[in-house]
């Protein structure tokens, strides 16, 4: 069967089981858009290429399947760079196809030409420039294989226009060997001795902590984690990327560690004698000052990516494995720590003394952001997916939404990409039309990518957006208040500009506004009753509200600042 390169590309995507792609056409990718009309694949037409990337990420995070985006060359390609970088930082499986100028024009500064493989070299797991139409199936199959195996990540395929128009004889690789990847060996046999060493360390532990990272979700290890944690009685902390990997409602869960983690999670790590890292990477937002991080702990570092070992913090034992396999091996070996009762007495003491709290507003009728999140969470059906942008609202959501299921929390962790929330929520809704998707957003973030609500309306992916509108770039404002002597510099946004209600309505969504507790409950009730359109609620919140606890950047986690309400008068 002879196909054009464009047809071969689309057929290859079908072969990989792709059901939905997010994209926006343009000159160089034009030939590829022709066979999309005849394909079983649903194409979602976005309003900005960054949105396509974040939607693909939301899709991937909600399902575990790779997200796919397709854009044109030049500015189309550079517009999706932020999403690719975001996916790279959070190890999200993504396949991004960019149009490229015709092969003969590459290197001539042709119209809408850019060296996107060069630009994305440092932010993709791998990228390809297709030079031969016959190779299209191999490259597509290799891209999906690379994106989804080992430590997942984004893969980019740059697709010159003439290749799309060249005829090829259809074929498709039937085995990994045909992918021609002699340097890529993600399948590994776990070194049994590393398991034995880990088990021996666990046996000596009196104050262990399971430090659960995003890799635990990537390897679908939540069942194994629950079994291991319950048998061993070890306390669990889940990082920002792992929220939902272990139920928040579980008594052994201490919450999130790090800069805005719970006092108990942060302090448990600091006082631990054994830290068991499961697919986490000792990010600086978790460790604080590295020399003071878990200073008395031995470390078992479990990761599929050996380059993470000893990168930030030297490990006592390294276990190269996916998390599910390692936890199963720990179970088989019946890894058991010492009696943890004294440890739990300490942990429970901290938990009682320093729960997550927030202060009442001056006027009790007015809204507090944490209260809004709790109210939405309380009204949400089990399994509701929550996305967020980046900043205060993201930290409050991670703190105050109680996650009990994996893949229900969709956020931008490593890259901290403002504007992630709305398009990621749309991608998640596209993947899971059966569940409600809330985006808890900030007013600053919302303004960055709100135009994708047009996409949500036109494509029929109704989402619910809660803007915690404090009229500021809130997290920057918080730092300026705390560390720059309240010298507020370029952080004021204006709560009424834009008019979020009108803006929402102009994009085909329902726009609501809430300034009081009564209005809040009413708006949430209305939002939950609407299923055929997106809803945007403009919640007015006080600008002075800050995220606590907090560890200042570069400070030791021992110097965690609790909420002012909990400070002991000295």
Q: Which residues are catalytic?
A: 49, 111-112, 161, 475
Query: What's 189's DSSP letter?
Result: -
Q: Point out which residues pair with 255 in neighbouring strands.
A: 237
- Can you tell me which of 121, 200, 295, 565 binds another protein, judged by CB under 8 A? 121
Q: Which is nearer to another protein, 146 or 507 (CB)?
A: 146
**Shortest Cβ 12–another protein spacing (Å):** 19
Q: Yes or no: say if 235 and 209 are a contact pair by the CB < 8 Å rule.
A: yes
Q: Point out which residues pair with 158 in neighbouring strands.
A: 98, 129
DSSP-derived secondary structure for 56-92 = HHHHHHHHSSPEEEEE-STHHHHHTHHHHHHHHHTT-
Q: Does 339 bind another protein (CB under 8 A)?
A: no
Q: Does 513 bind another protein (CB under 8 A)?
A: no
**Shortest Cβ 92–another protein spacing (Å):** 16
Q: Does 554 bind another protein (CB under 8 A)?
A: no
- Can you tell me which of 55, 56, 81, 146 binds another protein, judged by CB under 8 A? 146
- Using CB under 8 A as the binding criterion, the count of chain residues that bind another protein stands at 19
- Of the candidate spans 124-132, 377-385, 459-467, 486-494, the one that interacts with another protein by CB under 8 A turns out to be 124-132
Nearest to 256 by CA among 395, 125, 121: 395
Q: What does the alpha-carbon distance between residue 97 and residue 481 come to, in Å, rounded to a whole number? A: 43
Q: What does the alpha-carbon distance between residue 4 and residue 168 come to, in Å, rounded to a whole number? A: 6
Q: Point out which residues pair with 303 in neighbouring strands.
A: 320
Q: What does the alpha-carbon distance between residue 402 and residue 255 come to, in Å, rounded to a whole number? A: 10
Q: Which is nearer to another protein, 40 or 187 (CB)?
A: 187
**Pattern 155-184, binding to another protein, x per CB under 8 A?**
--------------------------xxxx
- Of the candidate spans 89-97, 239-247, 305-313, 551-559, the one that interacts with another protein by CB under 8 A turns out to be 305-313
Q: What does the alpha-carbon distance between residue 205 and residue 225 come to, in Å, rounded to a whole number? A: 18
Q: Does 118 bind another protein (CB under 8 A)?
A: yes
CA 483 from chain center: how many Å?
Answer: 28
Q: What does the alpha-carbon distance between residue 240 and residue 388 come to, in Å, rounded to a whole number? A: 12
Q: What does the alpha-carbon distance between residue 480 and residue 483 come to, in Å, rounded to a whole number? A: 5
Q: Which is nearer to another protein, 304 or 514 (CB)?
A: 304
Q: Does 306 bind another protein (CB under 8 A)?
A: yes
Q: Which is nearer to another protein, 248 or 305 (CB)?
A: 305
Q: Which is nearer to another protein, 125 or 477 (CB)?
A: 125
- Can you tell me which of 34, 162, 197, 305 binds another protein, judged by CB under 8 A? 305
Q: Which is nearer to another protein, 311 or 338 (CB)?
A: 311
Q: What does the alpha-carbon distance between residue 546 and residue 563 come to, in Å, rounded to a whole number? A: 9
- Can you tell me which of 109, 187, 249, 307 binds another protein, judged by CB under 8 A? 307
- Can you tell me which of 11, 65, 126, 207 binds another protein, judged by CB under 8 A? 126
Q: Yes or no: say if 159 and 10 are a contact pair by the CB < 8 Å rule.
A: no
CA angle 32, 36, 38 (to 5 degrees): 130
Q: Does 320 bind another protein (CB under 8 A)?
A: no
Q: Does 102 bind another protein (CB under 8 A)?
A: no
Q: Point out which residues pair with 472 in neighbouring strands.
A: 492
Q: Point out which residues pair with 537 in neighbouring strands.
A: 466, 512
**Shortest Cβ 307–another protein spacing (Å):** 3
Q: What does the alpha-carbon distance between residue 430 and residue 170 come to, in Å, rounded to a whole number? A: 30
Judged by the rule CB under 8 A, the positions of this chain that interact with another protein are: 117-118, 121-122, 125-126, 129, 131, 146, 181-184, 305-307, 309-311
């Amino acid at each position: 069967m002879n196909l054009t390169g464009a047809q071969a590309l689309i057929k290859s995507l079908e072969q990989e089981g792709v059901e939905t792609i997010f994209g926006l056409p343009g000159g160089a990718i034009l030939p590829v858009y022709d066979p999309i009309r005849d394909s079983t694949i649903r194409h979602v037409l976005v309003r900005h290429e960054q949105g396509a990337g974040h939607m693909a990420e939301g899709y991937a995070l909600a399902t575990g399947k790779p997200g796919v985006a397709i854009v044109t060359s030049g500015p189309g390609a550079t517009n999706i760079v932020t999403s690719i970088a975001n996916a790279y930082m959070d190890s999200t499986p993504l396949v991004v196809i960019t149009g490229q100028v015709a092969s003969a024009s590459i290197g001539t500064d042709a119209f809408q030409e850019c060296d996107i493989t060069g630009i994305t070299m440092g932010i993709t797991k791998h990228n390809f420039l297709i030079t031969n139409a016959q190779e299209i199936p191999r490259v597509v199959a290799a891209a999906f294989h690379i994106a989804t195996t080992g430590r997942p990540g984004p893969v980019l395929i740059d697709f010159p226009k003439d290749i799309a128009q060249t005829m090829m004889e259809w074929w498709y690789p039937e085995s990994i060997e045909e992918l021609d990847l002699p340097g890529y060996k993600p399948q590994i046999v776990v070194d049994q001795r590393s398991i034995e060493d880990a088990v021996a360390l666990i046996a000596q532990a009196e104050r262990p902590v399971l430090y659960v990272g995003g890799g635990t979700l990537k390897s679908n290890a939540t069942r194994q984690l629950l079994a291991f944690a319950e048998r061993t009685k070890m306390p669990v902390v889940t990082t920002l990327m792992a929220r939902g990997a272990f139920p928040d409602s579980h008594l052994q869960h201490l919450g999130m560690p790090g800069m805005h983690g719970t006092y108990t999670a942060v302090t448990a790590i600091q006082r631990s004698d054994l830290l068991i890292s499961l697919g986490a990477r000792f990010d600086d937002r978790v460790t604080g000052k590295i020399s003071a991080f878990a200073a008395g702990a031995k470390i078992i570092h479990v990761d599929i990516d050996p380059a993470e070992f000893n990168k930030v913090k030297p490990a006592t034992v390294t276990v190269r494995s996916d998390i599910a396999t390692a936890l199963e091996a720990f179970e088989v070996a019946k890894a058991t720590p010492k009696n943890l009762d004294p440890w739990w007495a300490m942990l429970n003491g901290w938990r009682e003394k320093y729960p997550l709290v927030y202060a009442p507003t001056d006027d009790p009728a007015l809204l507090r952001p944490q209260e809004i999140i709790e109210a939405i969470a309380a009204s949400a059906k089990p399994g509701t997916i929550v996305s967020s942008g980046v900043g205060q609202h993201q930290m409050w959501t991670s703190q105050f939404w109680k996650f009990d299921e994996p893949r229900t929390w969709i956020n931008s962790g490593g890259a901290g990409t403002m504007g992630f929330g709305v398009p990621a929520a749309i991608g998640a809704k596209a993947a899971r039309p059966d569940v409600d998707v809330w985006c808890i957003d900030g007013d600053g973030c919302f303004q960055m990518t709100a135009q994708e609500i047009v996409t949500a309306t036109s494509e029929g992916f109704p989402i619910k957006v809660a803007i915690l509108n404090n009229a500021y770039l809130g997290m920057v404002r918080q730092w300026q208040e705390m560390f720059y002597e309240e010298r507020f510099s370029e952080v004021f946004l204006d709560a009424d500009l834009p008019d979020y209600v009108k803006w929402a309505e102009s994009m085909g969504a329902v726009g609501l506004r809430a300034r009081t507790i009564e209005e809040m409950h009413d708006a949430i009730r209305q939002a939950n009753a609407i299923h055929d359109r997106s809803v945007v609620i403009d919640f007015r919140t006080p600008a002075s509200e800050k995220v606590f606890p907090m560890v200042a950047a570069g400070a030791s986690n021992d110097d965690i600042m609790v909420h002012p309400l909990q400070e002991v008068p000295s």
